[in-house]
Amino acid sequence: MLSPDEIEQMLALHRLYLDTEYHEGHRANFASVDLTGRDFSGLNLRGIKMDRAVLRGADFTGAHLQSANFIGAMLQEARFDKADLSRARLSGANLVSASFEDARLAKAEMEFAVMANAVLRGACLREADMSGALLDFGALTRADLRKANLRGAVLRDARLDEADLQGARLGGAFLAGASLREADLRGAYLRLARLEGADLSDANLEDAEGLTPAQLDRAHLNTGTRLPESLKGTENAKR
């Protein structure tokens, strides 16, 4: 536990560290500190260390968190709407019911993060590593997931309508019951992905790799679903 004055002093020294291009002050390290419910909205916290910190319900709305460290942090119901977490490290973090609406998470490291019920609508997750992440019931409508690594991720009943998944790696991902209406999956890798009950209405799967008729037999397609040339027969049969 840190007192409010100690927290403010550490944040002030971090601002000085950034403002002087690392010549004065020092990088704040809140590893394992309890910061439950604290308001960090709009702050410049680039590179801050918060590994294993307790940040339940904390507010990071609009904060600058590029290359910040949140490995193993407890971030249930935290708010990151419109925040910039490019290249941030969130591996193994507990992000249940956290909100990242319109946030930037390009190239973020989120392996095995627990993100059930997380809100990522409109978020930029381009080239993010979300392998093994748990995203059950997650809201990823219109999210930018181009070239994201979702290998082995669990997206049961997640909402990915209109999401951009071009070139995404979804090998072994669990997408049972997920909604992918109008999603762009061109060039995505889907070998062994579980698609039972997944809604692929109007989705674009042209040039998708590793996709088989058996996978599509368990999914919902419509006349607007676009499949690779090798699977056009399956497409017609499903209709």
Q: Which two tokens stand for residue 211?
A: 């996709």
As a whole-number percent, the residues of the chain with pLDDT over 90 amount to 95
The residues, any chain, with a CB within 8 Å of residue 117's CB and separated by 6 or more, are 96, 97, 136, 137, 138
**The pLDDT value given to residue 106:** 98
pLDDT digits (tens, 9 = 90+) for 115-174: 999 999 999 999 999 999 999 999 999 999 999 999 999 999 999 999 999 999 999 999
Q: What is the pTM of this model?
A: 0.93
> Predicted confidence band at 234 (pLDDT cuts at 50, 70, 90)?
low
**The pLDDT value given to residue 1:** 83
In 3-state terms, what secondary structure has residue 17? helix
Spatial CA neighbour of 8 closest among 47, 35, 31: 35
Q: What is the mean pLDDT of the chain?
A: 96
**The pLDDT value given to residue 104:** 98
pLDDT digits (tens, 9 = 90+) for 68-96: 999 999 999 999 999 999 999 999 999 99
**Do 200 and 179 meet the contact criterion of CB atoms below 8 Å apart?**
no
Backbone angles phi, psi at 46, to 5 degrees: -55, 130
As a whole-number percent, the residues of the chain with pLDDT over 70 amount to 97
CA distance to 69, 153, 183, per residue, from 33 (Å)? 13, 29, 40
First to last CA, the chain: 60
Largest CA distance in the chain: 67
**R_g over Cα of the chain:** 20
**The pLDDT value given to residue 233:** 65
> Predicted confidence band at 237 (pLDDT cuts at 50, 70, 90)?
very low
Residue 215 Ramachandran class (φ > 0 left, ψ -120 to 50 alpha, else beta): alpha
Residue at token pair 């500190």: 33
Distance, in Å, from the CA atom of 54 to the CA atom of 72, rounded to the nearest integer, reads 9
Distance, in Å, from the CA atom of 86 to the CA atom of 89, rounded to the nearest integer, reads 9
Q: Say yes or no to pLDDT of 239 above 70.
A: no
